[in-house]
Amino acid sequence: MQILCPICREVLARTPGAWRCEKGHSFDVARQGYVNLLLVQNKHSLHPGDTKEQVLARRAFLDSGCYQPILDAVCQTALRHGCTGPILDAGCGEGYYSSRLAEALGAQLVGLDISKEAVRCAASRHKDATWLCATAAHLPVPDGSVGLLSSLFALTLPEEFSRVLRPGGFYLQVLAMADHLLGLKSVIYEELTHKEKDSVPTLPGFTLEESVPVRFSFTVEGAQVQNLLAMTPHYYRISKEGARRLAQTQTLRDTASCVINLYRKN
Ligand SMILES: C[S@@+](CC[C@H](N)C(=O)[O-])C[C@H]1O[C@@H](n2cnc3c(N)ncnc32)[C@H](O)[C@@H]1O
Ligand SMILES: [Zn+2]
């Protein structure tokens, strides 16, 4: 798939050491194999997105196989509807889902995340894909060039996602539901507030093809309890008291609850 210069939107010519556009903008290929296309003006902090600690925690947790039912359901949904590549995974994290989805579909993959640490980690997992540090708000790919755009537990930007999808292309979204990780939440919070969540949002420019709920129980022990926390937004919200209670939790029985929504571009 063509990758565009984030400055002038010309196509980037890829050489092993650097990618360059005709206007002379150049982006180094990092030793680990990813390319940083994130412009300073699209950074809201010095190190945007997930931190190294979060990325490593996510990798350790996902590699334990705990969330395999989500991965399997994602791949089966995409296969059932005849999704084809190229795949662009927005907010790909350390690449657990995107690399396996690409394998399942036999498709070309571009994984993109605003966190440099995340794409660095993803590049070490799967060498055959293109891994980019960039923002999903300005995807560095041409209009109509993507067959399947995925965003798992990450952001949805209907206008930009629709721009890059070809007519009839798919958008696969995974959203956490209100009862996701209630076990973790009941350890770290004094009181649980129930927030209604729209599990199947209406997206302008898209038609829903299928919505697949995924719900299962699992147990984590020892360091995986902390890894689970680091994968969630609760990592930023936890109080000292909540952190202390979690540190004393050796075994946590919990429930994962999410929904896979597959949309087709109109
Ligand atoms: C909850 S994580 C999910 C990661 C991965 N999809 C998974 O399920 O394992 C959300 C990811 O979105 C990334 N992210 C946040 N804002 C972003 C943006 N504007 N553009 C691209 N990625 C972004 C974060 O760095 C993080 O890796
Ligand atoms: Zn350029």
The pLDDT of residue 242 is: 93
CA atoms within 13 A on the CB side of 24: 0
Out of 94, 113, 157, give the residue to mutate to test ligand 1, the one with the largest number of ligand atoms within 8 Å of its CB: 113
CB 182 within 8 A of CB 37: no
Query: Considering its fold, how many domains does the chain have in total?
Result: 1
**Does 11 reside within a domain?**
no
CB 256 within 8 A of CB 216: yes
| Residues spanned by the domain of 254 | 33-265
The pLDDT of residue 42 is: 78
Out of 38, 46, 114, give the residue to mutate to test ligand 1, the one with the largest number of ligand atoms within 8 Å of its CB: 114
CB 21 within 8 A of CB 2: no
Q: Is the CB of 113 under 6 A from ligand 1?
A: yes
The pLDDT of residue 126 is: 86
The pLDDT of residue 43 is: 75
Instruction: Please tell me whether the overall predicted TM-score, pTM, comes out greater than 0.85 for this model.
Output: yes
**Does 23 reside within a domain?**
no
**Does 16 reside within a domain?**
no
**Does 26 reside within a domain?**
no
Q: Which long-range contacts (CB under 8 A, 24 or more apart) does 198-205 make?
A: 199/175, 199/259, 199/261, 200/259, 200/261, 201/156, 201/261, 203/156, 203/158, 203/171, 203/263, 204/158, 204/159, 204/162, 205/158, 205/159, 205/162, 205/265, 205/266
Question: In CATH, what number is assigned to the domain containing residue 259?
Answer: 3.40.50.150
The pLDDT of residue 145 is: 98
How do residues 164-194 score in pLDDT, each as one tens digit?
999 999 999 999 999 999 999 999 998 888 7
**Does 37 reside within a domain?**
yes
The pLDDT of residue 244 is: 94
| Mean per-residue pLDDT, 77-102 | 98
Atom 4, ligand 1: residue with shortest CA distance? 93
Which 8-state DSSP code applies to residue 179?
T
The pLDDT of residue 192 is: 86
How do residues 223-237 score in pLDDT, each as one tens digit?
999 999 999 989 988
How do residues 5-17 score in pLDDT, each as one tens digit?
999 999 999 998 9
**Does 174 reside within a domain?**
yes
The pLDDT of residue 119 is: 97
Atom 24, ligand 1: residue with shortest CA distance? 49
**Does 207 reside within a domain?**
yes
Q: Is the CB of 140 under 6 A from ligand 1?
A: no
In the predicted structure, residue 44 carries a pLDDT above the cut 80: no
CB 150 within 8 A of CB 87: yes
**Does 39 reside within a domain?**
yes
127 compared with 155, residue with greater pLDDT: 155
| Mean per-residue pLDDT, 36-46 | 83
Phi, psi dihedral angles at 172 (to 5 degrees): -110, 120
